[in-house]
Amino acid sequence: MKVITINVCGIRSSQKKGIFDWLSRSKADHICMQETRALEDQIDNDNFILKGYTRYMNIAVKKGYSGVAIYSKHEPSEIISKFSKSIFEEEGRFISLEFKDYIVASIYFPSGSSGEERQKMKYEFMDLFEKYVKKEMKKRKMLILCGDYNIAHTKDDIKNWKSNQKNSGFLPEERAWMTKLIDNIGLVDAFRVKCKQNDIYTWWSNRGNAYNNNVGWRIDYQMVTSNLLDKINKVSVYKGKKFSDHAPLVIDYDI
């Protein structure tokens, strides 16, 4: 089973850059997108259809903002578009599909870079997400929690770690929370199981020629439950073509 996750930074923008041509050849079972920034009627045409897939979306109330989606080849038993009663329900940041043996979700964590108030909200989202994970783990199903977490976990996940220690996305509190997810709660960073390389990133700033110089951050993840640990087969970050300021994270599982 192949799962792809990417922050498309506007599904209409990434479509113009060829992402759907690439996805149609990817042979993925599930394609998780974040920051779709579109209403259903804005993408209700053939340019946004993947043959053999059904699209599931959670759209933000605010037009042109946030939004997540999953394109899936498989029919879920349940579709859930919220994991808590909070302001985040209106921001289109979560959707999950439940199947017999596993759950796949697309999550878009808030950024705190715009100021203290949004950083506070980011911590709130992290706390609510943690509670969701603990609750879902009780089902003992395999969880594949894809998305833009907006956090680089370790120094190996960011090029300029020294100068970013006081910036949202690499704050000590955020990194400690990621460590807690892994060490205390029992999630697994699926990419790191197979790749220990320290210069593989998934996001690059649009400033300073960051992409060409590979001055990036690894902030896109497929966090999975430990019952998937021995089923992680192959991992990669696709950089053959640039569809947004993020690159697709592709993981094959033996499921």
Domains of the chain: 2-253 (3.60.10.10)
* Catalytic residue, candidates 29, 148, 157, 220: 148
Express each pLDDT in 18-40 by its tens digit. Answer: 999 999 999 999 999 999 999 99
Residue in 97, 105, 118 with CA at minimum distance from that of residue 5: 105
Percent of the chain with pLDDT over 70: 100
The neighbouring-strand residues paired with 250 are 4, 236
| Average per-residue pLDDT for the chain | 97
First to last CA, the chain: 6
pLDDT, average across residues 43-67: 96
Digit-coded pLDDT (tens) for 87-126: 888 999 999 999 999 999 999 999 998 899 999 999 999 9
What are the E-state strand segments in the chain?
A: 2-7, 30-34, 54-58, 68-72, 78-80, 94-98, 102-108, 142-148, 187-189, 203-204, 216-217, 220-225, 232-237, 249-253
Task: Give tens-digit pLDDT for 183-206.
Answer: 999 999 999 999 999 999 999 999
Q: Are 117 and 108 in contact, with CB atoms under 8 Å apart?
A: no
245 is catalytic: no
Q: What percent of the chain has pLDDT over 90?
A: 95
Whether the pLDDT of residue 173 is over 90: the answer is yes
